[in-house]
Amino acid sequence: MTTAIPRADRRVSPVFLALVAILAVSGWAVWSGTLAASTGFAVFLFVTAAWVVSLCLHEYAHARTALHGGDITVGAKGYLTLNPFVYSHALLSIVLPVLFVVMGGIGLPGGAVFIERGRIRGRWKHSMISAAGPLTNALFAAVVSAPFWLHALDGIPDPFRYALAFLALLQVTAAILNFLPVPGLDGFGVLEPWLSDRVRRQVAPYAPFGMLAVFGLLWVPEVNQVFFELVHTVLRGLGVPAWDTYWGQEFFRFWQGEPQVPQLVGTGTA
């Protein structure tokens, strides 16, 4: 279903354009080594800006799919402008995800756009609205890891390669976590339309705590190990080695000092 949305309701926000500008400038700084005295700070800006941009695209994907599914209110709510400040839960969608990246290198999912589900008809449409966000993270992971799986790393400076690898890790963690069939996460949203009304009523009270429960479990060493083994299995499939993601995170944590990457024997890569 296509509807006419006023131009102002779908014009790209200056806030999002500013984020893209920060992403471009910091990416150039990492690539060129302009901030050689603080490459880590440039990597931090580049990865953080790219991560927030991906969060905006994640929520935009939900909203755009909902629009075509029948919820014409998403335009008036500002969800089509890619402005992170219009989300109904800015803390969950922007602040906490960035904080978790800083703390543990985990791509925190956060549901932020309010979809008026009563306007949408059809189980498949409801499922696709929920799936659109994590699918965007999966696509983002494929894009930023393209130099790896295309074997096109020649000429790419090491810090930039490490930054891309860490960014790919964040996108893979976000996609996997979002697709978990846990109440409150997108994965459950994909399944929910196919459940009986009785089951949905029983599960609804737990939805606000689903994400907290997942991240509580991730602090359990055994669960954390299994989760990151899955993440790195996906990354290996994309051609991204654990070496690169590790040093990407080390550069990202610029406040710990500039990392000294050891020389790989026999490769000529620092």
Q: Which residues are catalytic?
A: 59
Single-letter residue type at 61: A
- In the chain, what is the greatest distance between 2 CA atoms, to the nearest angstrom? 62
> Cα(255)–Cα(20) distance, rounded to whole angstroms?
24
What's the N-to-C CA distance of the chain in angstroms? 53
Q: In sequence order, which ranges of the chain are alpha helices (DSSP H)?
A: 7-10, 14-32, 39-69, 90, 96-104, 123-144, 146-149, 158-178, 186-191, 197-203, 207-218, 221-237, 242-252
Residue 140's closest CA among 189, 109, 175, 106? 175
C-alpha triplet 184, 220, 163: angle, nearest 5°: 75
Return all residues near 81 (Cβ < 8 A) that are at least 6 apart.
9, 10, 11, 12, 13, 16
Please answer whether residues 193 and 187 qualify as being in contact, where contact means their C-beta atoms are separated by less than 8 angstroms: no
User: Which tokens in the block code for residue 17?
Assistant: 């354009």
Please answer whether residues 11 and 222 qualify as being in contact, where contact means their C-beta atoms are separated by less than 8 angstroms: no
C-alpha triplet 19, 21, 24: angle, nearest 5°: 110
Token match 């922007």: residue? 94
